[in-house]
Chain A
Amino acid sequence: MRTTRSFADVSYYAVIGAIGGLAIAILVVPVLVVLAISLTSAASLKFPPTGLSFRWYEALFDPVQSGHIHSAALNSLQVAGSAAGLAMLIGTLAALWLDRHRGAAGRALDTAFMSPLVLPMLSFGLAALIIVTMLRQRPSLTWLTAGHLVVVIPFVIRTVSASLSQLDRALIDSSASLGASSFYTFRRVVLPVIAPGMAAGAFLAFVASMDNVPISLFLSNARTDMLPIRLWGMMESSLDVRVAAASGVLIVVTSVLLVVMNRLVGLNRRV
């Protein structure tokens, strides 16, 4: 009895440990591999790197060599900033409405608003390009922001809705019965509870917009180049090691932001 059980236990721990360990390793190792290769002194992506140097970071930050990457990064930051700000406003309002309408209509709208998270948005990117062209406009950062909005708002709706579900209804009722106006109640009772959700949602919206490919792919041109599209182009044409340096910068920035957001709003629990 004792021995058979321990054999089963050993095989269990071996198999689960191996597969689960592999999963965790393949989540982490690629990030480390990119960091390692970005410090290579060679002009190729040969692994392991032949020597240590910051030459690709210098090339990346050099405005003469990498000006087009800088302008793409600035465009992306500008679009992501406006998209995240607008998404936070519109998404919070929508989440407040959805919270009060839990009937069939409310649930149907909730599903519809969330659908950009699972539908292939490439189709909508194509539609955006056709619309812009038919209106005889040229793709601009404004169009890109508008296109990103529908894709990134679901993150805000989801995080704010989760915060709202933790709000004690009795607090709203007491505030109202003590004579507070509905706006005062919102500002002093509802807002403090949902503010972390709003911040987490805006952050996720910002990240999603920075990383958006399906919409940007169709609306990017020489004037409205976006960072992921620019990096993709560099990866497709030649294996430029500056992509590794740019990836290294993105890894460091994302890690720092994740740690900060975890401290501020407990992001891990909200994604």
Chain B
Amino acid sequence: MEYEFIVDNELKKLNMEQQGQSHSIHMDGHEYLADIKSLSPHIISISIKDRMYKIFIVRSKEGFHIQCQGDSYFIQESDQDEGEIQSSEEKSRKDMLNIKPTMPGKVIKIQVNEKEEIKVGQTLVIVEAMKMENEIKSSINGTVKKIFAAEGDLVDSDKPIMELEEKTE
């Protein structure tokens, strides 16, 4: 059976077939013969060449939360085709233009004005969350198109504080 997952922003294809007690797996040009068992609802053991690996896994609505030998992964099932993956790149482009705080907090200082020209790395706004000040910097060269928040405002991580416009060469 074919599976498509998105992990660390990459699309990964995997083929897994039951072969007697074992599973044969193909991915990225690698081939494995693995004995996969569920030890408990959230622990899966994978034995490859008599070596056992334990994988801790919880499936939520958003995807799979996994920890394996100290490494953490968040894996999503890909119900998208290539075009949609590209749109996730577009989305990150959009995120660069719509300045949002990484977590809910309070706007301490807005360092730029509307229409002002800005450069990559320039501090746009300082937001305080959990008593730490975080500077949000520009990742583009361009201008400030619109500012939606004022100093002292409480802001959410899903609403932009300001919108930028990229300079076109």
A and B associate in one complex: no
Interface residues, chain A, with chain B CB atoms under 8 Å away: none
